[in-house]
Amino acid sequence: MQNKLKTAIQNLPFSAINQARSIQNKPVPKAWLAKPSSKGDVILLSGIYGRWHSLKNIGEMLHRNGYRVHVIERLGLNAKPIGAITQELNEYLTKNDLKDVVIVGFSKGGLVGLSYLIDHPNGRVIKLIAIATPFSGSNIGKLFRLPSVRELMPNSQAIQSLRPSQNVLQKIVSIHPQDDDYIWHQNGSTLQGATNIRHQVAGHHRVLFDRQAQESVLAEVNKAFRPQYAAS
């Protein structure tokens, strides 16, 4: 518990930045979708009670590197049940006829990406890059009685239903900090059978600002589309 408190203190400034961005609720940069990308399409999915702005730095990085970056703005604070958000994701992909897409999901956003891959194993998403995602759930739900938070408990029906096949696991990369003050579970963000990348940084939101973690995201996106981009 002492380590979690220390990590929470270290994480606080980065959490505050993301909350401030959500409150400001600035529009998605038009340049992100200005024209079809020769490299590929990436969808950003935020964590619970956080708008897409928590992934703003990563979105800008991907745009600079030639990718078209999508945000589903109507998800708002991402407080709906995982199943409902998965359906909205599917509708967005279908409506825009997107294929061979990579999802970059933060926290709960990673769970939504996993849910989509399970429900649509041969669908439009070729890879999920999950950042600080509680694949085994989070006991932080003990502190909050909100249904949207309780859904993330390890024994919740939502978490227990996320049982991916080996084919699905091969499409998943989990990028996570060495210590996470939001994920109170012994397995943290480790997902057995997937690719797990742990960075030497502490803090649930802090990992989003870590340069090495960001570079890992870009490298994995590059690998998903064309192997020759992996070193770019």
Q: What is the pTM of this model?
A: 0.92
Distance in angstroms (rounded) separating the CA atoms of residues 12 and 7: 9
- Assign domain 2-24+40-227 to a CATH class: alpha beta
Query: Tell me: the pLDDT tens digits for 29-47?
Result: 999 998 766 789 999 999 9
pLDDT confidence of residue 230: 52
pLDDT confidence of residue 10: 84
Distance in angstroms (rounded) separating the CA atoms of residues 70 and 125: 13
Query: Which residues, 6 or more positions from 13, have their beta carbon under 8 angstroms from its beta carbon?
Result: none
Query: Tell me: the pLDDT tens digits for 150-185?
Result: 999 999 999 999 999 999 999 999 999 999 988 877
Task: Name the 3-class secondary structure at 159.
Answer: helix
Q: Are 46 and 75 in contact (CB under 8 A)?
A: yes
pLDDT confidence of residue 147: 85
Q: Which amino acid is at 161?
A: S
Write out residues in the chain with pLDDT < 50, as ranges.
228, 231-232
Any idea where the domains of the chain sit in the sequence?
A: 2-24+40-227
pLDDT confidence of residue 228: 46
Would you call 81 exposed, middle or buried from its count of C-beta atoms within 10 A (0-12, 13-18, 19+)? middle
Calculate the CA dihedral of residues 149, 150, 156, 161 and round it to 10 degrees. -20
